[in-house]
Structure 1
Amino acid sequence: MEEIAIEHIVHTLASIRESALQQRQRLSQPPKLPARKALEKCVEWLAAALFPNRLGDPDIQAHAINFYVGTTLDKALRELQQQIRLELAFKAPAEPGKQFHAQAHTLAGQFAEQLPPIRLQLDTDLQAAYQGDPAADSIDEILVSYPGILALIHYRIAHVLHGLGLTIIARLVTEIAHSRTGIDIHPGAQIGDHFFIDHGTGVVIGETAIIGSHVRLYQAVTLGAKNFPKDANGHLVKKFERHPILEDFVVVYAGATILGRITIGQHSIIGGNVWVTRSVPANSHVTQAHSDAKPIPAAA
């Protein structure tokens, strides 16, 4: 039997790889990117530190919780600092990599200071899930089993990292959750407290989306962009406000698609499989049969 020409394939792949690096001006010394597997472990440790009794070591004793949280955080932050250094070096390939150690340490510390607020916000999300889902028997059940909460743990960590300018790490963290849950939340999106994603599969929340407090989304909801303008050279314009704003107490049912920089007013309900491209006033009820956004009559 004739052998497969592996050596030829290796050389061909090398040529393609070098050409790609040349186009990206990274041929001389391509810097390493943050590692997805390392960040998976890092987020797992962070989640365990945030919720040690439910997401931590199952054999942990009550008297040892603080020690466990401290040692787990130490592992997570040391790993995060290394990944931050890699991102900083990747974004400035002309600079010597060793100079980023101090900056990475500072950024890891700034991130760590935001862990208590992250925990408090996640507690509101858990409460919203418990109050919004009649099938939920306890908050503990939601924390360990609901994909929406898993996605939010990743998102709330990633959003802080994104705010620190660590956009690659932040995106990797949310994509880890995306691959596990089918929920795609860009780390740049702004999401208020008491946020609940029920079922969750297929939910997409774009980079510039703004979501208020006490908002509930069901599966297959898209908060996306309506169009993608190009510059004079034909390249897509990036980093402009192109996703929807959902005000407080909005509910969006399964399969709804909301596109563009429009506003869904507070206390509005968007029905299933509706396509919305225009702003909706507060207290509206939009369905397939009634897409003219008539306000809901005030309660007697």
Structure 2
Amino acid sequence: MANFDISGIVQCLHDARQQWRQAHRPATGEVRGIEFPSRDALAAIVGQLKGVLFPMRLGPTGLRQESEEFHVAHALDSALHALLRQVEIELKYSAALQQCTGADSAGQALAVTQAFGAALPGIRMMLDSDVLAAYQGDPAARSVDEVLLCYPGILAMIHHRLAHCLYQLGLPLLARIVGELAHAETGIDIHPGATIGAGFFMDHGTGIVIGETAVIGQHVRLYQAVTLGAKRFTTLADGSLQKGQPRHPVVEDDVVIYAGATVLGRITIGKGAVIGGNVWVTHDVAPGARVAQAAAREDGVNGHADPA
């Protein structure tokens, strides 16, 4: 019979865990018995919520319109009860790390989950605008149903609209998990903190990166491999990164950014501007301007800016 030195490996794994805990929880010490939110549970919840938001397209196979309301009510009740459990887990986890005692996590979790449920109609309307933008912006799209069922950018936006709501409700870990579920499936990486206006369209989508503090206006269109990132990171006296500072671009209404463009820092891309493919932008772009690949000069961008 093969010998794998199980006891030795187990001891080494134990030592590795202890080393990690001592190094990364110096202030709070080890938090014993803590439970973490479940990726599998959240994937199931989001799956139910897709059917709640779009029952006839993303709901169960064979659903008929006459039973649509029953399905929505049943699936919504199930999803919110399951989400309530995950919210409780995150709030307890956060309280344990901050050494908060006596907090009414159950009451807070219920209030947060109720607020999330109440936000779903607004999320549906925002998603309708995204679907319509994709249909109107892509000549290959034959119908809005094709867009909703097939386009990775729409899948990513369903996750993002849900995740952003969770983020705003003070649940960053749940929000990040929901966002990363779509990232793994589509290759589109949107931080749940990013604020994105109505009618947002990501054509093709693969490789798009949108940072936490990015602000995107209405009717903006991005193509594959666009990055809205940070130019530099502020460090504290101990050398650690300062978190939560605005460090990503502001993209105003009606902007188009073509494939491979990299836009970095807390800069503003003005309304109606067009950013060409594969350019590197680190300074403000005026409303209506067009930025193409580098020509003979650099006016604050790695490209040539012309008025529209």
Tell me the residue number matched to 1:104: 109
In structure 2, distance between residues paired with 1:98 and 1:205: 34
Q: Deviations over 1:193-240 (max 9, x none)?
A: 000000000000000000000000000000000011211111111110
Tell me the residue number matched to 2:265: 260
Tell me the residue number matched to 2:17: 17
In 1, are the aligned partners of 2:130 and 2:154 still within 8 Å (CA)? yes
Question: TM-score, normalized by length of structure 1?
Answer: 0.95
In structure 2, distance between residues paired with 1:58 and 1:285: 46
Tell me the residue number matched to 2:219: 214
Q: Deviations over 1:251-274 (max 9, x none)?
A: 000000000000111111100000
* Match runs of 1:1-300 below 5 Å: 3-23=3-23, 24=25, 25-93=28-96, 94=99, 99-290=104-295, 291-296=303-308
In 1, are the aligned partners of 2:228 and 2:264 still within 8 Å (CA)? yes
Q: How far 1:172 sits from its partner (Å)?
A: 0.6
Q: Deviations over 1:156-209 (max 9, x none)?
A: 001011000000000110000000000000010110000000000000000000
In structure 1, distance between residues paired with 2:29 and 2:178: 25
SS at match of 2:290: strand
SS at match of 2:4: coil
Distance 1:134 1:15, change over 3 A: same
In structure 2, distance between residues paired with 1:129 and 1:114: 23
Equivalent position amino acid for 2:243 in 1: K
SS at match of 1:125: helix
Q: How far 1:95 sits from its partner (Å)?
A: 5.2
SS at match of 2:254: coil
Q: How far 1:19 sits from its partner (Å)?
A: 2.6
Corresponding pairs, count: 296
Equivalent position amino acid for 2:70 in 1: F
Q: How far 1:27 sits from its partner (Å)?
A: 2.3
In 2, are the aligned partners of 1:211 and 1:248 still within 8 Å (CA)? yes
In structure 2, distance between residues paired with 1:200 and 1:28: 40
Cα RMSD (Å): 1.4
In structure 2, distance between residues paired with 1:278 and 1:31: 45
Distance 1:8 1:135, change over 3 A: same
Distance 1:173 1:97, change over 3 A: farther
SS at match of 2:127: helix
SS at match of 2:304: coil
Q: How far 1:9 sits from its partner (Å)?
A: 0.4
Which runs of no fewer than 5 residues in structure 1 stay unpaired? Answer: none
Q: Deviations over 1:42-96 (max 9, x none)?
A: 0110111000000001211211100100000011101110000000000111457
Equivalent position amino acid for 1:112 in 2: G
Q: How far 1:100 sits from its partner (Å)?
A: 1.7
Identity %: 52
Distance 1:143 1:28, change over 3 A: closer
Equivalent position amino acid for 2:272 in 1: H
